[in-house]
Amino acid sequence: MTIKKGNLISFSGGNQGQWIVRSMKTLSGNAIEPVSRIEITKESQLPADAKWTFNAFISNLRYTTRKEKTELDQGSKPLGIESNNYAALIPIKKSDEWWKMTQDERRKIFEEDSRHIALSLDYLPFISRQLHHCRDLGEHFDFLTWFEFSSAHEDKFDALVQMLRETKEWDYVIGEIDIRLHRS
């Protein structure tokens, strides 16, 4: 059963691709096979040597309010800025407990308790980002989070992910692998 290719984006780990792996760190859940490069593709043609491939799609906003979106948009920079020579791919899996919650319960933990959006705002000028969804595809991970930033600002990225990992939202994260990359 195939789905239309245009909507999917694939991250393939192997020994080819535009992003060179600097480090892979399993923070929770099972590790994945180490690779030297990651290829990102919207084509059905995956690299022949891939050790793993994660498929995902970009979707509509699930929690963000209009006020928050306005603030986020003001600070956000697009992907693909040449001086952002570093990137991070962080696949995330949340627990069944998270997914059984209703929208209001998840929103409360996400923002009112954990301030996911509020904490991120200060970092937008330095860190470009894109969320990809994959739980509904039956993938192991629920999200593939993607960030691009300059090597000069990796300390800021470290500070951001460290803050998020200490929030209540992260009590529901049962799989997380922090893959750091640089542009080839």
Residue ranges binding its own copies (CB under 8 A): 1-8, 10, 44, 46, 55, 57, 59-66, 68-69, 99, 101-105, 107, 133, 135-139
User: Which uninterrupted H or E stretch holds 106?
Assistant: helix 103-107
Residue type at position 71: E
The residue (of 99 and 184) whose beta carbon lies closer to its own copies is 99
The residue (of 66 and 155) whose beta carbon lies closer to its own copies is 66
How many other C-beta atoms are found inside a 10 Å radius of the C-beta of residue 154? 16
The residue (of 14 and 88) whose beta carbon lies closer to its own copies is 14
HSE, CB side, 13 Å, CA atoms: give it for residue 161: 21
The residue (of 5 and 182) whose beta carbon lies closer to its own copies is 5
- Give the span between the Cα atoms of 42 and 153, in whole angstroms: 28
- Give the span between the Cα atoms of 26 and 16, in whole angstroms: 22
